Amino acid sequence: MGIDLNQLKTFFVLAQTLNFTEAARKLFVTQPAVSHSLKKLEAGLNDALIGRRGRRFVLTDSGKVLYKACEDIFYLLERTEESIRSRTDDFLGSLRLGATVEFGASVLVKNMRPFLEEHRNIHVDFEFHNDLLPRLLNDDLDVIVECRDYEDPRLDKRLLFQEKYVVVGAPDYVRRRKIRTPADLASCTLLSLDGNGEWWKRFLRVLPDRKRPDLSTLIEINHIRGMINAVKEGIGIGLVPRYSVSKELARREIRDVFPDISIVEDHFFIYQKKKKAGLEKHRAVISYLLSIKPVEFGDF
């Protein structure tokens, strides 16, 4: 059949993105070069691989068959390259580790130095983003830490920890507002990731109906770290993941307003593609992440 491996790689990247401009960026070539490579591959196969549905590019039936074969081929090549490298220069390659923004910035990088020092044969790059799954599926990321529960047959999923939330306030704000029970929040300014109070429902649903306060005054702040800083400045009361404020709580810059109320919510999972699960660099980083003590995630 005489398929050119470079043309196959171009098709594989294009099939992942279904965007000629994005494929060209990832391959470090021009957009016309991507188009030319695809046309030559289609001509050699005498079949169309990518078509249009309205304004969108889609894989044809033949394109879907070839894409699945490409996954097997290129992931096998990656495992083979890793095996050869380990026999020669001990370098296992690069790994792109993704995480949600606040978790990545507050917890992940703080705990990665021991891994990086022990595994100098693995180069790790980090990306913090709140829409990680598409980038994992497109191979822009190799491993992600995500608080959403995905059920996808292509994914290998490991539970990392159960996220806990805490209601926090600046000590002076709590004292001046005389906040002692959840009902007292009705007279407070509450900080929320959204403007309609959906964010606070994770707190309200652990309370009996008769003790649920009316959330009348909300300020929307669409970033956890921004919310934490607003709490420290006495702007209002925040509901945040405990891991994100472990330092502030330890330094008593803010207070856990209701320490006797347990607010357990999302689970954090580690995801990778099943086809890449055999890579040694993947096994090493995932094993390390699973070894981190729960206290580092605010589980105390």
CATH code where residue 223 lies: 3.40.190.290
The proportion of the chain whose per-residue pLDDT surpasses 70, expressed as a percent, equals 97
pTM of the predicted protein model: 0.77
Q: Does residue 135 share a domain with residue 47? A: no
What value does the CA radius of gyration of the chain take, rounded to a whole number of Å? 24
pLDDT at 214 over 90: no
Report the pLDDT averaged over residues 48-67: 91
Q: Does residue 101 share a domain with residue 9? A: no
Report the pLDDT averaged over residues 38-67: 91
Q: Does residue 258 share a domain with residue 132? A: no
Q: For residue 60, which phi and psi values (nearest 5 degrees)? A: -75, 175
Q: Does residue 158 share a domain with residue 95? A: yes
pLDDT at 89 over 70: no
What is the average pLDDT value for the chain, to the nearest integer? Answer: 90
Contact by Cβ (8 Å): 258, 204: no
**pLDDT digit string, tens, across residues 153-174:** 999 999 998 888 999 999 999 9
The Cβ of residue 299 has, within 10 Å, a number of other Cβ atoms equal to 15
pLDDT at 75 over 90: no
pLDDT at 294 over 90: no
pLDDT at 247: 87
Show the domain range for 234.
164-265
**Count of the separate structural domains present in the chain:** 3
pLDDT at 210 over 70: yes
